[in-house]
Amino acid sequence: MLRQVVFFLRFIALTLGQYDICKSLVSTDDGPIWEFYACQPKPMSMREYMKIKVEPAGITCGSPPERFCTLENPYLCSDECDASNPDLAHPPQLMQDREPFGLITYWQTITWSRYPEPLLANISLSWNKSLELTDDVQITFEYGRPTVMVLEKSMDNGRTWHPYQYYADDCLDAFGMPPKRVQDLSAANVTRVICTEQYSRWVGSKNDKNVLFEVRTRFSIFAGPRLQNMDNLYTRMESMKGLRDFFTFTSLRLRLLRPSLGGTYVQRENLHKYFYAISNIEVPARCKCNLHASQCAVRDGNLQCDCEHNTTGQDCGRCKRGFRAKSWRAGSYLPTPRGSSNNCVAAGSTLGNCECYGHSNRCSYIDFLNIVTCVSCKHNTRGQNCQHCRLGYFRNASAELDDESVCIECNCNQIGSVHDRCNETGYCQCKEGSTGQRCEDCLPGHYWKQGCFPNVCDDELLLCQNGGTCHENQRCICPPELRGVLCEQPRCDGEDCDAACTSYLTSVTLLLCLLATQLLKLTAC
Ligand SMILES: *[C@@H]1O[C@H](CO)[C@@H](O)[C@H](O)[C@H]1NC(C)=O
Ligand SMILES: *[C@@H]1O[C@H](CO)[C@@H](O)[C@H](O)[C@H]1NC(C)=O
Ligand SMILES: *[C@@H]1O[C@H](CO)[C@@H](O)[C@H](O)[C@H]1NC(C)=O
Ligand SMILES: *[C@@H]1O[C@H](CO)[C@@H](O)[C@H](O)[C@H]1NC(C)=O
Ligand SMILES: *[C@@H]1O[C@H](CO)[C@@H](O)[C@H](O)[C@H]1NC(C)=O
Ligand SMILES: *[C@@H]1O[C@H](CO)[C@@H](O)[C@H](O)[C@H]1NC(C)=O
Ligand SMILES: [Ca+2]
> What is the pLDDT, as a whole number, of residue 502?
44
> What is the pLDDT, as a whole number, of residue 389?
95
Within 6 A (CB) of ligand 6 lie 423-425, 427
**Nearest ligand to residue 166 Cα:** 3
Mean pLDDT value across the chain: 88
Confidence class for position 510, pLDDT limits 50, 70, 90 = very low
Whole-angstrom Cα distance, residue 122 to residue 112? 15
- Name the residue at shortest CA distance from atom 8 of ligand 1: 122
> What is the pLDDT, as a whole number, of residue 513?
44
Whole-angstrom Cα distance, residue 170 to residue 148? 8
d(CA 253, ligand 2 centre) in Å: 19
d(CA 276, ligand 7 centre) in Å: 14
In 185-226, alpha helices (H): 216-223
Within 6 A (CB) of ligand 3 lie 180, 184-186, 188-189, 192, 194
Confidence class for position 3, pLDDT limits 50, 70, 90 = low
d(CA 331, ligand 6 centre) in Å: 45
Best residue for ligand 2 mutational test, from 124, 128, 159 (most atoms within 8 Å of Cβ) = 128
Whole-angstrom Cα distance, residue 471 to residue 474? 6
d(CA 525, ligand 5 centre) in Å: 95
Question: Using an 8 Å Cβ cutoff, are 260 and 6 in contact?
Answer: no
Query: Is residue 327 helix, strand or coil?
Result: coil
Residue 288 host element (H or E): none
Encoded amino acid at 390, one letter: R
Whole-angstrom Cα distance, residue 474 to residue 239? 71
Is the per-residue pLDDT at 227 higher than 90?
yes
Best residue for ligand 1 mutational test, from 122, 124, 152 (most atoms within 8 Å of Cβ) = 122
Beta-bridge mates of residue 447? 453
Comparing 85 with 365, the larger pLDDT belongs to 85
Q: Which domains does the chain have, with CATH numbers?
A: 45-287 (2.60.120.260), 410-454 (2.10.25.10), 457-486 (no CATH)
**Nearest ligand to residue 403 Cα:** 5
Please provide the size of the chain in residues. Answer: 525
Is the per-residue pLDDT at 139 higher than 70?
yes
**Nearest ligand to residue 142 Cα:** 7
Tell me the per-residue pLDDT of 453-473, one tens digit each, with 9 for 90 and over.
999 999 888 899 998 999 999
> Which runs of E-coded beta strand occur in 385-437?
388-389, 393-395, 407-409, 417-422, 428-430, 434-435
Tell me the per-residue pLDDT of 159-179, one tens digit each, with 9 for 90 and over.
999 999 999 999 999 999 999
d(CA 191, ligand 3 centre) in Å: 11
d(CA 404, ligand 5 centre) in Å: 9
> What is the pLDDT, as a whole number, of residue 235?
95
Query: Is residue 466 helix, strand or coil?
Result: coil
Within 6 A (CB) of ligand 2 lie 128, 302, 304, 314
Whole-angstrom Cα distance, residue 455 to residue 121? 70
Confidence class for position 4, pLDDT limits 50, 70, 90 = low
Pairing state between β 44-45 and 31-36 = unpaired
Query: Is residue 482 helix, strand or coil?
Result: strand
Could you say which DSSP state residue 250 is in? E
Beta-bridge mates of residue 51? 126
d(CA 401, ligand 5 centre) in Å: 12
Comparing 333 with 352, the larger pLDDT belongs to 333
> What is the pLDDT, as a whole number, of residue 516?
44
Encoded amino acid at 281, one letter: I
d(CA 71, ligand 1 centre) in Å: 27
Q: Is the CB of 36 under 6 A from ligand 4?
A: yes
d(CA 312, ligand 7 centre) in Å: 36
Of the ranges 165-174, 211-220, 504-513, which one carries the lowest mean pLDDT score? 504-513
Within 6 A (CB) of ligand 1 lie 55-56, 120-122, 255
Encoded amino acid at 374, one letter: C
Is the per-residue pLDDT at 323 higher than 90?
no
Q: Which atom belonging to ligand 6 lies closest to the Cα atom of 437?
A: 4
Could you say which DSSP state residue 283 is in? -
**Nearest ligand to residue 124 Cα:** 1
Q: Which atom belonging to ligand 1 lies closest to the Cα atom of 56?
A: 14
Is the per-residue pLDDT at 151 higher than 50?
yes
Backbone angles phi, psi at 368, to 5 degrees: -75, -15
- Name the residue at shortest CA distance from atom 13 of ligand 6: 424
Residues 6+ apart with CB under 8 A from 362: 374, 375, 376
Q: Which atom belonging to ligand 4 lies closest to the Cα atom of 345?
A: 14
Comparing 498 with 508, the larger pLDDT belongs to 498
Confidence class for position 325, pLDDT limits 50, 70, 90 = confident
**Closest C-alpha to 326, from 353, 347, 307, 352:** 347
Query: Is residue 126 helix, strand or coil?
Result: strand
Whole-angstrom Cα distance, residue 410 to residue 277? 61
Whole-angstrom Cα distance, residue 121 to residue 98? 23
> What is the pLDDT, as a whole number, of residue 461?
84
Is the per-residue pLDDT at 495 higher than 60?
no
Check whether the bond before 43 is cis (ω within 30° of 0). no
- Name the residue at shortest CA distance from atom 11 of ligand 2: 128
Q: Is the CB of 310 under 6 A from ligand 4?
A: yes
**Nearest ligand to residue 141 Cα:** 7
Tell me the per-residue pLDDT of 24-66, one tens digit each, with 9 for 90 and over.
998 888 888 899 999 999 999 999 999 999 999 999 999 999 9
Question: Using an 8 Å Cβ cutoff, are 92 and 107 in contact?
Answer: yes
Whole-angstrom Cα distance, residue 333 to residue 246? 17
Query: SS3 breakdown of the chain: % helix, strand, coil, rounded to 5?
Result: 15, 30, 55
Which pTM value belongs to this model? Answer: 0.69
